[in-house]
Amino acid sequence: MLPLKYPVLSLLAALCFAVSSQAGNPVIKDRFTADPAALVHDGKVYLYVGHDEATPEDGFFVLNEWLIFSSDNMIDWELKASLPRSEFEWGRRPTAWAAQAIERDGKFFWYVTVLNDDPDPAKAGFGIGVAFANSPTGPFKDALGEPLVRSDMTTPPEFMIEGGRPSWDNIDPTVFIDDDGQAYLYWGNTHLYYSKLKDNMIELDGEIHQVEIEGMPGTFTEAPWLHQHGNTYYLSFAMDYPEKIAYATSDTPVGPWSYGGLILDVLPDTGTSHQAFLEFEGEWYFIHHTAALPGGGNYRRSVAIERFEHNPDGSIDQLVSTASGLAFEPYLIGLFDSDGNFLRHQDRQAVVSSWDAGEAYDFKWHLVDGLEDSVEDGVSIQSENMPGFYLLRSERGGIRLAKHDGSEDFAEAATFAKVRGLSSREATSFMVPGERQNYLLVTETGALMHGRVMRADRYRATFVVRR
Ligand code: FUB
């Protein structure tokens, strides 16, 4: 049972909270985007993504094009250009998979993953192409008219070629130019490869090497990304499946690579994870994709951004993908007159329990304008560390944490009217819209539900929202 009615009332610390209309993440909200890469040019950031166009019914990736967005501040993004997969005439199907662009001497090279349409089965399968442009937004043109990396240049793992399936070990390029001007291309799925690039950036220079990562507790899946900080080279990648993002370090851009740790754990509702690292105006950013947009999922992903730092010893702490992102801060929602009891989620249920610093993110909430926008003072309560998940009412009085499926029914059941606190004018209660007897409340056991509130129990439906 909850220790209710404690004497300490921290209303003074409570702010009259302002509902923000949107969360910071995902950063692109009007379409599904995946597999981010980014570069800085002339004081602006350019974000290169795949455009996820799968419908909820599609059982696989559908990407007909890549998109380029730009921003001055990492928060406001403007769509600048697109590159259709059909620019690579040797490609087929909607397979505009992961890609990365880089600048060299004022020219831009964009390395892309495309399924190769070669009639020779040995050469068919995913390949890596390269497009060229004189500006970061293009127009980009296929620089070679054929893949830079083709299936018959590598030996895929056995399981990739069984049953006539095309091999997909040649996907997910990442490109990096070292201080001495030498460029490197890493890529792979299951097998991780690298090769040097010639100065012209459109030819491999020498052999393709297969890379091992020492001490890795899982298996390399895909999505390599190479970056440098100080004298340390970082190779990050998707590990296992569903994917986590992990990293390895080395003193050179070609290894040997030693496993460093986990950067991002498995995300809800997307089996893939794909990351980019970017330094902009002295700060470092971790750009990745989640399934957080309404109706998001495995093939309907959306790009999100978090700030991070490299530790003095060279390590990178595990990060949390948040709803707040760069632009907002989450709230704590305390139960009125109950010292130290806050709303949290646990196993996708909402409960009120005592503060636990080790699980602090589960206690953080993002309050946005009601998903159902006709409700006066409408508010929806989104989890900070499960972006896209909201407190959702059931008709029978239950409350659970559920993913926004994009439907109107969901929007309605996840919207409350923010009203003056039933126990204190300075606190807040959350009313079921249009139902003056029906409030979000906490039961004796700490479970969250909604229903009728007795006069003596009003404090159970009164909350203190604060930072
Ligand atoms: O978007 C298609 C594929 O999913 C990418 O190439 C992989 O990295 C994974 O994110």
Query: DSSP for 249-298?
Result: EESSTT--EEEEEEEEPPPTT-S---EEEEEETTEEEEEEEES-STT-BT
**Same domain? 189 vs 153:** yes
**Same domain? 172 vs 53:** yes
Tell me how far the alpha carbon of residue 222 lies from the centroid of ligand 1, in angstroms. 8
Domain count of the chain?
2
Tell me how far the alpha carbon of residue 275 lies from the centroid of ligand 1, in angstroms. 10
Residue nearest to atom 8 of ligand 1 (CA): 223
- Maximum separation of any 2 CA atoms in the chain, in Å: 79
In a domain, 316, yes or no: no
**Same domain? 299 vs 356:** no
Is any atom of ligand 1 closer than 6 Å to the C-beta of 223?
A: yes
Residue with token string 């949390």: 320
**Is 370:379 a contact under the CB 8 Å cutoff?**
yes
Residues spanned by the domain of 390: 8-21+327-466
Pocket test residue of 33, 61, 225, 300 for ligand 1, highest count of atoms within 8 A of CB? 61
**Same domain? 223 vs 255:** yes
The pLDDT tens digits of the residues spanning 28-58 come to 999 999 999 999 999 999 999 999 999 999 9
CATH assignment at residue 110: 2.115.10.20
**Same domain? 261 vs 343:** no
Residue nearest to atom 1 of ligand 1 (CA): 97
In a domain, 26, yes or no: no
**Same domain? 261 vs 390:** no
Pocket test residue of 67, 114, 172 for ligand 1, highest count of atoms within 8 A of CB? 172
Is any atom of ligand 1 closer than 6 Å to the C-beta of 300?
A: no
In a domain, 223, yes or no: yes
In a domain, 416, yes or no: yes
CA distance 309 to 328: 19
Last residue within a domain, chosen from 240, 273, 308: 308
In a domain, 1, yes or no: no
**Same domain? 404 vs 360:** yes
The pLDDT tens digits of the residues spanning 267-278 come to 999 999 999 999
- pTM above the 0.85 mark? yes
Confidence at 122, pLDDT banded by 50, 70, 90: confident
CATH assignment at residue 453: 2.80.10.50
Please name the helix (run of DSSP H) or strand (run of DSSP E) that holds residue 409, with its range, or none. helix 408-413
**Same domain? 278 vs 209:** yes
Last residue within a domain, chosen from 279, 308, 337: 308
**Same domain? 343 vs 400:** yes
- Percent of the chain residues topping a pLDDT of 90: 89
In a domain, 428, yes or no: yes
Six token digits for residue 298? 């495995």
**Same domain? 137 vs 244:** yes
Confidence at 119, pLDDT banded by 50, 70, 90: confident
In a domain, 136, yes or no: yes
Structure confidence at residue 251 (pLDDT):
98
Last residue within a domain, chosen from 251, 280, 308: 308
In a domain, 27, yes or no: no
Please, which residues have CB within 8 angstroms of residue 119's CB and are 6 or more apart in sequence? none
* 21, pLDDT greater than 90: no
**Same domain? 239 vs 333:** no
CA distance 335 to 4: 9
Structure confidence at residue 273 (pLDDT):
98
Structure confidence at residue 14 (pLDDT):
43
Which of 427, 426, 303, 433 has its CA nearest to residue 371? 433
